[in-house]
Amino acid sequence: MTIPPIAQPSEDEDQALVALSALAQRSRLQVFRSLVTAAPEGLTPGALATEHGIAPSALSFHLKELVQANLVTVAREGRHLVYQANFVAMNGLMAYLTDTCCGGQPCHLTQPKEADMTTDRVRNVLFICKGNSARSIMAESVLNQLGAGRFRAYSAGSHPHGAVNPLALELLQRNHYPHQGLRSKNWDEFAGPDAPHMDFVLTVCDKAAGEVCPVWPGQPMSAHWGVPDPVAVQGSAEDRQRAFTDAFIVLNRRISLFTVLPLEKLDRLALKLQLDQIGQS
């Protein structure tokens, strides 16, 4: 039997060890997951301490470890420090852990047919939010028009309201986007064996992004495109309409960027980085 040579340490391996060591502690792991959920805005130490019940001194130590591991970045906004998850480092770690997966053969950790990204087939996109009454509904309609022939959009919610918000329908109709047949539905519809195979799953609200999603068939690529909830806005009719218009504009801009991505020229990691950057725009 031939004994394989011992692999020499590499810079990527050293970086992976630092990152994994930083995450191998319960409080730090919980803090990092909170920052991922709160992306791209990030959280202050006060918000993190309140959420996790961690003493300020202990939290300061944990945040320092995550920053030194390059998993978290910190910036000053006025009088406050704001911590954000470093998605580039996180995706780099995942790429390092899986780049030799299954001897290069398809497995459950990778997209079964990554080569499909180089074909001209229509790609399915699922937009997710909690209520599936406004943001994800508008995103579904916008992509089905802007991406016609390249993309087929769907939407669903973790706790659907059961009806589409009238202000969302009015906005779509006024801007000449498809609005007939839109409905509020549970995301379980897209998790079964007979559901359409999704290439992308994009969350557009923080609440849905923080929940445990179903296991989507085919392991689609995912990203978080958080948009403030217009349904939650209180005030005059003008205030509410402005909130819906703002959400529509943000979604329209992000979807426009998404539809021009050169999918056939991007590998999986590069495409993931592009999706994350669009979500932060």
Q: Tell me the CATH number at 147.
A: 3.40.50.2300
CB 225 within 8 A of CB 202: yes
Together in a domain, 175 and 267: yes
pLDDT in tens, 8-46: 556 778 888 999 999 999 999 999 988 887 776 788 999
Dig out the tokens for 166 from the structure.
């009238």
Length of the chain equals 281
Is there a single domain that holds both residue 50 and residue 156? no
pLDDT tens string 129-148: 999 999 999 999 999 999 98
Report the DSSP pairing between strands 221-224 and 200-203. Answer: parallel
pLDDT at 132: 94
> Residue written as tokens 């191998």?
24
Q: Looking at the predicted structure, is the pLDDT value of residue 211 above 90?
A: no
Confidence tier at 220 by pLDDT (50, 70, 90): confident
Residue 107's pLDDT band, with cuts at 50, 70 and 90, is very low
Supply the pLDDT for residue 69. Answer: 92
| Rounded Cα distance, 158 and 154, in Å | 14
Mean pLDDT of 252-270: 91
Q: Region 217-229: what's the mean pLDDT?
A: 86
Flag whether 208 is in a domain: yes
The H-assigned helical ranges of the chain are: 11-23, 26-37, 45-52, 56-68, 87-98, 135-146, 166-174, 206-209, 237-259, 268-279
Q: Are residues 210 and 78 in the same domain?
A: no
Per the domain annotation, does 107 fall within a domain?
no
Residue type, 228: P
Q: Which amino acid does the sequence have at 49?
A: A
Nearest to 216 by CA among 235, 234, 196, 233: 196
Q: Tell me: do 131 and 221 sit in the same domain.
A: yes
> What is the percent of the chain where pLDDT is above 70?
83
Q: What's the N-to-C CA distance of the chain in angstroms?
A: 55
- Please report the pLDDT score of residue 70 as a whole number: 92
Q: Does residue 33 sit in the same domain as residue 134?
A: no
Last residue of a domain, one of 89, 104, 131: 89
Residue finishing a domain among 71, 89, 107? 89
**DSSP three-state, residue 39:** coil
Name the pLDDT band for 99 (thresholds 50, 70, 90).
low
- Whether 161 and 202 map to the same domain: the answer is yes
The Cα–Cα gap between 38 and 224 comes to: 10
Instruction: Compute the distance between CA of residue 243 and CA of residue 33 in angstroms, rounded to an integer.
Output: 28
Can you state the angle between helices 26-37 and 45-52, rounded to 10 degrees?
Answer: 120
* Token code pair at residue 38: 């709160």
* CATH number for the domain that contains residue 67: 1.10.10.10
pLDDT above 70: residue 274: yes
pLDDT of residue 115: 37
137 & 262 share domain: yes
- Of the candidates 239, 225, 201, 238, the one whose C-alpha atom is nearest the C-alpha of residue 280 is 225
94: number of Cβ within 10 Å: 14
Q: Tell me the pTM.
A: 0.59
Confidence of residue 80 (pLDDT cuts 50, 70, 90): confident
4-17 burial code (b ≥16 CB/10 A, e <16): eeeeeeeeeeebbe
Please tell me the total count of domains within the chain. Answer: 2
CA atoms within 13 A on the CB side of 191: 12
> Residue 202 forms beta bridges with which residues?
127, 223
* Domain match, 165 and 245 both: yes
Q: Which amino acid is it at 111?
A: Q
Residue type, 267: D
| Rg, Å, the chain Cα set | 21
Indicate if 131 and 71 belong to the same structural domain. Answer: no
Please answer whether residues 216 and 198 qualify as being in contact, where contact means their C-beta atoms are separated by less than 8 angstroms.
Answer: yes
pLDDT of residue 14: 86
In the prediction, which pLDDT does 256 show?
Answer: 94
Q: Is 247 domain-assigned?
A: yes
DSSP 265: G
DSSP state of 60: H
Is residue 100 in some structural domain?
no
What is the average pLDDT value for the chain, to the nearest integer? 85
Q: For 215, phi and psi rounded to 5 degrees? A: -85, 105
Q: Look up the domain containing 42 and give its range.
A: 11-89
